[in-house]
């Protein structure tokens, strides 16, 4: 089970990442481009999800495209989900209390790579070998 401390630690370990407040909740950005953020469910979301609405912390995560989002949801619907608000948007929601820290690190890093400048991303990947 991952926590907000894990999100903060993993995101801020990535080059040029900053933490900011966006829409009243924490968001982690690279060069002012958000790649992960706290996304509490709103009243409309809760109504739309009904009994399936999770009650724990929710992390919003950028993904490459709708195909990746759908694949994550299909692969592990207990961890990944979406809401109508994100229809047509390359982002997935993560039940933070159901993802392990290793998988969270992978998801955060992939999201960061999508938003980081190419030069910064390339240097990061080169340094990792």
- Per-residue pLDDT of 10-61, as tens digits, reads 999 999 999 999 989 999 999 999 999 999 999 999 999 999 899 899 999 9
Q: What is the pLDDT of residues 103-112, one digit of tens each?
A: 999 999 999 9
Residues 27 and 21: beta-carbon distance below 8 Å: yes
pTM attached to this predicted model: 0.95
Contact between 82 and 95 (Cβ < 8 Å): no
Class of domain 4-128: alpha beta
- Cβ pair 57, 93 in contact under 8 A: no
The 8-class DSSP code of residue 40 comes to P
Read off the pLDDT of residues 109-123 as tens digits, 9 standing for 90 and up. 999 999 999 999 999
Residue 54 and residue 87 in contact, taking contact as beta carbons nearer than 8 Å: no
Closest CA to 56 of 43, 74, 38: 38
Would you state the pLDDT for residue 125? 96
High-pLDDT (> 70) share of the chain, %? 100
Residue 129 has pLDDT above 90, yes or no: no
d(CA 125, CA 101): 20
């Amino acid at each position: 089970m991952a926590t907000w401390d894990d999100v903060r630690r993993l995101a801020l370990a990535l080059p040029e990442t900053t933490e900011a407040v966006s829409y009243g909740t924490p968001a982690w950005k690279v060069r002012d481009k958000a790649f992960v953020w706290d996304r509490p469910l709103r009243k409309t979301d809760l109504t739309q999800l009904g009994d399936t609405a999770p009650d724990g912390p929710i992390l919003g995560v950028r993904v490459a495209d709708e195909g990746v989002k759908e694949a994550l949801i299909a692969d592990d619907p207990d961890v990944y989900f979406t809401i109508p608000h994100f229809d047509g948007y390359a982002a997935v929601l993560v039940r933070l209390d159901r993802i392990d820290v290793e998988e969270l690190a992978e998801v955060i890093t992939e999201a960061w790579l999508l938003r980081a400048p190419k030069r910064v991303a390339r240097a990061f990947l080169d340094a990792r070998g």
